[in-house]
Amino acid sequence: MVADSALTPAQARAARGLLHWSQQDLATKAGVAVSTVADFERGQRVPVPNNALAIRQAFEMAGIVFTEGGICHGFQWTFMTEHAMSTLNVTFGLENVAIALDFVSIFGTVDLPKVSIRAVQSATAELKARLSSFVERYGPSTPHLHRLKKAVSDLADGAFFLVLPVPPSSTAEKLQCEQLIHQLNNPEARTHESEQERVFGALLREYDITVPRTDKRVVIGKTRKQDRTCRFCHLTVRDGARFDNQAHAISAALGNRYLKLGDECDDCNGYFGREVEPTLIELLNIQRVFLGIQAGGSRPIVEFSGGKMLHDGERVIVMSDKISEDASGALNAQLGETKRIVPVKFYQALAKFALSVIPEKELPALRRTISWVRNDEFAGRPLPKVAAAVVFLPPNPSAQITLYVRRQATSKLPHVVCEFRVGCYMYVYVLPFSDKDSWDLIEFFEDGSFKDTFRHYAYVPSWNLQDFSATQEVSIIQSIRFSPRGAAAP
């Protein structure tokens, strides 16, 4: 299957024929003009990327699957348990409709011409046995069925799960589904819906949330190199761009082993590795040592002009020429200067991580942001401050990023709010220069509408607002204070 290749006019005509759609039907479902569909199918013009994606998604939502050999029809179900959500593509041709109907009957009823699916399912012994029998018969030709069998078999007998004809369309809808499953499986548990609504209700109405996984291999973008377009310079293989090197969506020096960006060419990857990301890593070196983050199989050893820090796997070791003790018993270690850095590069690195994982449909509105990160355009312009805090959350071997992408077309709220975390160190920032923002966002974190929407940030005792607008090299003097156990923080 080649799910990432460009849709061709012949495929579009064939898919419409299979679905018995007119050009008007397709245009309506894709939200494009009829002339766009007609001109594309005649080969007169190629739709702009947003329209091409909308046309393809309209077909896929209707069950069309695009393959190397053409197209086929089927359906796509989303399975949700309390612990995971996954999507299963089921395709069939005229020769094996009976097999598909047999599969459907496990989760619903088949009374042709009517087929119905129950959204709420129970992992009974009978359902598990029927699914197991089906997978034994057809698993060799459809390997991904084994993952579904394992997911259902691992559920406790009678546990509830959902089968949805389409995935949740927003973060709020996904949360509602998760709450439903939890309530079905825990009828005696007290719910806290009113508190959740008070804290997160406005946020979920305004934003969709993207949280890429870093605990297993994920490649964002096109699977085949020849189909890739670099997110940052917009070049393709046909333009001479190469995609031979692995591009990390988040720096490997921050513990990221698995989250990769396919749509980043070697030239841009090299530029970010030389010119942008080293500043962020330099400023987070102390955090990297304290957290014992491993990169390339080893933990960092950081040298300053007056000292050195390292993590030996069990404890942090600090060496300094100047260590003093104050009246409270706290030790102060002066480490000296870091390498000279350009502050704006820290912000650009944070923005680069966000642009690497943001849904592709948002990129056209972020064209100026991309130019700022890749080409230093808008240099010298004031930037929104970055909010930093220490938040004690469960540890993770890799840095994490969460994106809040605004759903409404017009709003004073920032288009993209980003939350970047390295261990207990959290940074909240926005992507500047978005076409979907109506103001410069300079004081976004103190804005009343932002506070009313992102209410969970009020639970953090202290935020430090930092300005990374400077474009000239500066020196940073680093020091560490160790307070006696049990002493109040300074």
Tokens of 288: 């990297």
Q: Do β-strands 120-122 and 416-422 pair in parallel, antiparallel, or remain unpaired?
A: unpaired
Looking at the DSSP bridge assignments, the partners of residue 65 are 72
Lowest mean pLDDT among 173-182, 237-246, 394-403: 173-182
143 lies in the same domain as 126: yes
90 lies in the same domain as 161: yes
82 lies in the same domain as 164: yes
Asked if residue 180 is part of any domain, the answer here is: no
pLDDT tier at 475, thresholds 50, 70, 90: confident
110 lies in the same domain as 161: yes
Asked if residue 90 is part of any domain, the answer here is: yes
Pick left, alpha or beta for residue 12 (phi over 0 → left; psi -120 to 50 → alpha; otherwise beta).
alpha
Q: Helix count (H) and strand count (E) of the chain?
A: 15, 21
- Among the candidates 145, 170, 195, a domain finishes at 170
98 lies in the same domain as 134: yes
39 lies in the same domain as 95: no
State pLDDT tens for residues 101-149: 788 889 988 776 666 788 889 999 999 999 999 999 887 877 778 888 9
Residue range of the domain that includes 126: 76-170
pLDDT tier at 352, thresholds 50, 70, 90: very high
59 lies in the same domain as 98: no
Give the mean pLDDT of 274-302.
83
Asked if residue 372 is part of any domain, the answer here is: no
- Per-residue pLDDT, 69: 54
64 lies in the same domain as 81: no
Asked if residue 393 is part of any domain, the answer here is: no
40 lies in the same domain as 88: no
Q: Work out the percent of the chain whose per-residue pLDDT is above 70.
A: 89
In terms of C-beta density within 10 A (0-12 exposed, 13-18 middle, 19 or more buried), how is residue 404 classed? buried
- Per-residue pLDDT, 488: 46
31 lies in the same domain as 83: no
**Better-scored residue on pLDDT, 251 or 224:** 251
Greatest Cα pair distance, the chain, in angstroms, is 84
**Better-scored residue on pLDDT, 357 or 297:** 357
Does pLDDT of 261 surpass 90?
yes
How many domains is the chain built from? 2
Asked if residue 135 is part of any domain, the answer here is: yes
Asked if residue 118 is part of any domain, the answer here is: yes
124 lies in the same domain as 149: yes
- Among the candidates 121, 153, 170, a domain finishes at 170
Q: Work out the percent of the chain whose per-residue pLDDT is above 90.
A: 41
For 24-42, the DSSP string reads HHHHHHHTS-HHHHHHHHT
Asked if residue 304 is part of any domain, the answer here is: no
CATH number, domain with residue 37? 1.10.260.40
CB within 8 A of 405, min separation 6: which ones? 207, 208, 209, 210, 358, 359, 362, 415, 416
Does pLDDT of 5 surpass 60?
no
49 lies in the same domain as 124: no
State pLDDT tens for residues 295-326: 766 777 777 777 778 887 778 788 887 888 78
State pLDDT tens for residues 55-81: 888 887 666 767 655 666 566 688 999
Lowest mean pLDDT among 95-104, 305-314, 344-353, 406-415: 95-104
- Among the candidates 153, 170, 187, a domain finishes at 170
Comparing C-alpha atoms, which of 217, 342, 325, 213 is closest to residue 282?
Answer: 342
**Three-class DSSP labels, 127-174:** HHHHHHHHHHHHHHHCCCHHHHHHHHHCCCCCCEEEEECCCCCCHHHH
Does pLDDT of 4 surpass 50?
no
Asked if residue 243 is part of any domain, the answer here is: no
- Per-residue pLDDT, 233: 96
Does pLDDT of 244 surpass 90?
yes
